[in-house]
C-alpha cells in the first residue's frame, strides 16, 4: 500500500437484528442508509403484488425510533415542525416534517402521542442529523431517547389485520382498543404473550397495515411467527419503493430534500389550520407565502407513455424548455406501466398537462396526473 496513512476510515456497514433471518430467507442484501438491508427475496414484482393482495412483512429497523419527553414537549416540537402536535390526542399520530430555518425539509417523520411523550419515527439515512438538530433546538428540559435496542417491522396489506389477530396480540391495558379496531394513524401498547409491542395502524405502501416496534431480542421470534402464517411473506426494500411510489408517497433524499419546502413538496395538508394562522414554525414566511400565492414549483405524478421507465434524474421539458426533474420513477407493478414523480413549475402542475422526460437522449411523453396512482386503502373508520 502506497496510500497515505491518514486516509479517512471507512464506516463499516451496520448489521440489523434480523440480518441472519433475511439471509436465511434467501434475501439479496444491499447497503442502504448505512445498514445491510434486504432488497428482495423472490423478486420485486411478485413481492409488490403480494402486498397489494395479502400481507407483507418489511424490516424497517434502520429507521430511527425516538422518544421525546418532558414538560411542554408538544409545544416545544411545534417550533421545529409545521404540524399540529399540541392537539394530538394520546394514541394518535401525525405525519410531519422537520424544517430548516428557511423552510426546507430536513426530514419527514411520524409523531405519535403516547400519553407520556412523543414517539417519533425518522428516516434511517438522516437519523443522526435529526437527533443533532433536535438536541440543538430543544431545551435541556426535553429528553431525547433513541430506542436503539428496538427493531421496527411494517406489516402491510389487506390481510395484515388478520395476521395480527391470528397471532393473538392483545392490548396491554384495558383502555386500549383491540388491535383490529385501531383506525389509520392510531397507535397503542400491545402484548404478544409476554412480549411488549408498540403498534400503530400506519405504513408507507398505501395499503392498510401496521408498524410494530419490538425489542431487538424478540424480533426474530415475531418475524418467524408472522411469516409462519399463510398470508404473510417477507418483502424487500425494492417492493417497498415501488409500493410507496404507486401510493404517491415521497421518499426523503429523493423526492424531498432541504431545498424543497412543504408546499413545493405537495405536503401542505400536513400544516393544520391553526398552524397556518399562527405560524411559528421554521420558514413560516416562505411556506405561508407559497400557500397564499403559489409555490414556484410543485411535486406531481407523471404517467409515462409507452413502456420505457423514466427514472430519478431524468430532466423534464415543456417543448424545448427544461422545466424540472424526475425525483422517483420506475415500472409500477400494480399499474402495469412506468410511472414517476418529479417537480414542475406550478403553472404546469395541473393534471392532464403534457410534458416530456429525457431518457438517454430521447424524449418520452408524460402526462401530469393526480396522485396516488393506486388508491389508498387505509382503514379510517371502523364499521357501524
Partner 1 sequence: MPRYYTEEHEWIDVDGDVATVGITDFAQGQLGDIVFVEVPDTGAELSQGGDAAVVESVKAASDVYAPVDGTVTEGNAQLEEDPALVNSDPEGEGWFFRMTLSDKSQLDGLMDAKAYKAFCDAL
Per CB under 8 A, residues contacting partner 1 are 39-40, 43-46, 48, 238, 241-242, 307-309, 311, 330-331, 333, 338, 360
Please identify which residue in the block is written with the cell numbers 389487506.
Answer: 158
360 or 381: CB nearest partner 1:
360
Contacts of 330 (CB under 8 A, 6+ apart): 241, 242, 245, 309, 311, 338, 339, 340
C-alpha cell at 99: 424544517
CB of 342 to partner 1, least distance (A): 17
91 or 309: CB nearest partner 1:
309
CB of 331 to partner 1, least distance (A): 4
188 or 329: CB nearest partner 1:
329
CB of 9 to partner 1, least distance (A): 27
20: left (phi over 0), alpha (psi -120 to 50) or beta: alpha
CB-count exposure of residue 228 (10 Å: 0-12, 13-18, 19+): exposed
- What residues pair up with 192 in beta bridges, in sequence order? 195
CB of 1 to partner 1, least distance (A): 24
What is d(CA 177, CA 79) in angstroms, rounded to the nearest whole number?
32
305 or 318: CB nearest partner 1:
305
What is d(CA 220, CA 228) in angstroms, rounded to the nearest whole number?
12
56 or 104: CB nearest partner 1:
56
231 or 308: CB nearest partner 1:
308
CB of 40 to partner 1, least distance (A): 6
**Is 97:262 a contact under the CB 8 Å cutoff?**
yes
Q: In the chain, what is the greatest distance between 2 CA atoms, to the nearest angstrom?
A: 74
CB of 108 to partner 1, least distance (A): 22
What torsion do the CA atoms of 36, 246, 333, 16 make, to the nearest 10 degrees?
10
273 or 360: CB nearest partner 1:
360
CB of 314 to partner 1, least distance (A): 11
CB of 174 to partner 1, least distance (A): 46
C-alpha cell at 370: 393526480
CB of 307 to partner 1, least distance (A): 5
**Is 167:182 a contact under the CB 8 Å cutoff?**
no
Alpha-helical segments (H) within the chain:
19-24, 44-53, 73-77, 127-137, 160-166, 216-227, 237-246, 273-278, 284-293
**Is 233:225 a contact under the CB 8 Å cutoff?**
no
Contacts of 122 (CB under 8 A, 6+ apart): 63, 64, 66, 98, 107, 109, 130
CB of 332 to partner 1, least distance (A): 9
C-alpha cell at 15: 448489521
42 or 318: CB nearest partner 1:
42
195 or 308: CB nearest partner 1:
308
176 or 304: CB nearest partner 1:
304
What is d(CA 124, CA 142) in angstroms, rounded to the nearest whole number?
22
* Spatial CA neighbour of 363 closest among 300, 311, 315: 315
Amino acid at each position: 500500500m502506497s496510500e497515505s496513512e491518514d486516509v479517512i476510515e471507512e464506516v463499516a456497514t451496520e448489521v440489523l437484528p434480523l440480518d441472519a433471518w433475511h439471509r436465511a430467507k434467501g434475501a439479496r442484501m444491499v447497503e442502504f442508509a448505512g445498514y445491510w438491508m434486504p432488497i428482495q427475496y423472490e423478486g420485486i414484482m411478485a413481492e409488490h403484488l403480494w402486498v397489494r393482495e395479502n400481507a407483507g412483512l418489511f424490516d424497517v429497523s434502520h429507521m430511527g425510533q425516538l422518544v421525546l419527553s418532558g414538560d411542554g414537549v408538544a409545544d416545544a416540537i411545534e417550533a421545529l415542525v409545521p404540524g399540529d402536535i399540541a392537539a394530538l390526542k394520546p394514541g394518535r399520530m401525525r405525519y410531519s416534517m422537520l424544517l430548516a430555518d428557511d423552510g426546507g425539509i430536513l426530514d419527514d417523520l411520524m409523531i405519535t402521542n403516547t400519553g407520556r411523550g412523543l414517539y417519533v419515527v425518522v428516516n434511517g439515512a438522516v437519523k443522526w442529523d435529526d437527533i443533532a438538530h433536535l438536541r440543538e433546538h430543544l431545551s435541556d428540559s426535553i429528553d431525547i431517547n433513541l430506542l436503539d435496542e428496538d427493531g421496527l417491522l411494517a406489516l402491510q396489506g389487506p390481510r395484515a389485520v388478520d395476521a395480527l389477530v391470528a397471532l393473538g396480540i392483545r392490548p396491554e391495558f384495558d383502555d386500549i382498543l383491540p388491535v383490529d379496531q385501531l383506525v389509520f394513524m392510531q397507535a397503542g401498547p400491545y402484548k404478544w404473550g409476554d412480549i411488549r409491542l408498540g403498534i400503530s395502524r400506519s405504513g408507507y405502501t398505501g395499503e392498510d397495515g401496521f408498524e410494530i416496534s419490538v425489542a431487538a431480542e424478540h424480533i426474530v421470534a415475531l418475524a418467524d411467527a408472522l411469516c409462519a402464517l399463510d398470508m404473510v411473506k417477507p418483502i424487500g426494500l425494492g417492493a417497498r419503493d415501488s409500493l410507496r411510489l404507486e401510493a404517491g408517497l415521497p421518499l426523503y433524499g429523493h423526492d424531498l430534500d432541504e431545498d424543497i419546502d412543504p408546499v413545493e413538496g405537495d405536503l401542505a395538508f400536513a400544516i393544520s389550520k391553526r398552524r397556518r394562522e399562527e405560524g411559528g414554525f421554521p420558514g413560516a414566511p416562505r411556506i405561508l407565502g407559497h400557500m397564499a400565492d403559489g409555490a414556484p414549483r410543485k411535486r406531481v405524478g407523471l404517467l409515462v407513455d409507452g413502456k420505457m421507465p423514466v427514472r430519478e434524474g431524468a430532466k423534464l421539458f415543456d417543448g424545448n424548455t427544461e422545466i424540472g426533474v424526475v425525483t422517483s420513477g420506475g415500472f409500477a407493478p400494480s399499474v402495469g406501466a412506468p410511472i414517476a414523480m418529479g417537480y414542475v413549475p406550478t403553472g404546469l402542475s395541473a393534471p392532464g398537462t403534457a410534458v416530456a422526460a429525457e431518457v438517454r437522449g430521447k424524449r418520452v411523453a408524460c402526462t401530469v396526473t393526480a396522485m396516488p396512482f393506486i388508491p389508498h386503502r387505509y382503514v379510517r373508520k371502523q364499521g357501524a
